Copies of this chain bind each other. A is one copy, B any other.
Amino acid sequence: MAAEQDPEARAAARPLLTDLYQATMALGYWRAGRARDAAEFELFFRRCPFGGAFALAAGLRDCVRFLRAFRLRDADVQFLASVLPPDTDPAFFEHLRALDCSEVTVRALPEGSLAFPGVPLLQVSGPLLVVQLLETPLLCLVSYASLVATNAARLRLIAGPEKRLLEMGLRRAQGPDGGLTASTYSYLGGFDSSSNVLAGQLRGVPVAGTLAHSFVTSFSGSEVPPDPMLAPAAGEGPGVDLAAKAQVWLEQVCAHLGLGVQEPHPGERAAFVAYALAFPRAFQGLLDTYSVWSGLPNFLAVALALGELGYRAVGVRLDSGDLLQQAQEIRKVFRAAAAQFQVPWLESVLIVVSNNIDEEALARLAQEGSEVNVIGIGTSVVTCPQQPSLGGVYKLVAVGGQPRMKLTEDPEKQTLPGSKAAFRLLGSDGSPLMDMLQLAEEPVPQAGQELRVWPPGAQEPCTVRPAQLCEPLPSLAESRALAQLSLSRLSPEHRRLRSPAQYQVVLSERLQALVNSLCAGQSP
Which A residues are closer than 8 A to B by beta carbons? 1, 3-4, 7-14, 16-25, 27-34, 37, 39, 41, 62, 65-66, 69, 75-76, 79-80, 83, 85, 88, 128, 132, 135-137, 139-141, 143-145, 148, 168, 170-182, 195-198, 200-204, 207-215, 217-220, 223-227, 271, 274-275, 277-279, 281-282, 288-292, 319-321, 355, 379, 382-385, 387-389, 391-392, 394-396, 399, 402, 404-410, 413
Contact = CB atoms under 8 A, between A and B. Distances in A.
A148 B174 CA distance: 9
B7 A171 contact: no
Contact of A215 (B14, B25, B197, B291): B25
Given A20-B197, A355-B410, A385-B387, 4 more contacts: A1-B204, A10-B12, A23-B209, A28-B277
Given A21-B211, A218-B39, A383-B389, A175 B171 contact: no
B175 A404 contact: no
Given A10-B177, A175-B177, A200-B83, A278 B31 contact: yes
Copies per complex? Answer: 2
Given A69-B7, A218-B39, A17 B85 contact: no
Nearest to A131: B214
A196 to B, nearest CB: 7
Contacts of A79: 197, 200-201
Contact of A209 (B17, B20, B33, B85): B20
Contacts of A211: 21, 24-25, 28
11 contacts: A7-B14, A17-B176, A17-B196, A18-B196, A23-B209, A27-B278, A144-B172, A148-B174, A213-B408, A218-B396, A320-B409
Nearest to A179: B140
A455 to B, nearest CB: 24
A145 B275 CA distance: 34
Contact of A320 (B18, B404, B410): B410
A282 B85 contact: yes
Contact of A12 (B9, B137, B382): B9
Contacts of A7: 12-14, 65-66, 69
Contacts of A406: 213-214, 217, 289
Nearest 8 CB-CB pairs, A to B? A11-B11, A177-B177, A174-B178, A20-B209, A21-B209, A383-B388, A174-B174, A139-B171
A31 B273 CA distance: 10
A176 B217 contact: no
A66 B168 CA distance: 21
Given A31-B277, A399-B218, A320 B408 contact: yes
Contacts of A145: 175
Nearest to A30: B278
Contacts of A176: 11-14, 17, 137, 140-141, 177
A214 B396 contact: yes
A136 B19 contact: no
Given A24-B210, A173-B144, A207-B83, A288 B11 contact: no
Contacts of A19: 168, 170-171, 195-197, 209
Given A19-B195, A69-B7, A173 B140 contact: yes
Contacts of A168: 19
Contacts of A69: 7
Given A24-B211, A24-B279, A289-B406, A201 B321 contact: no
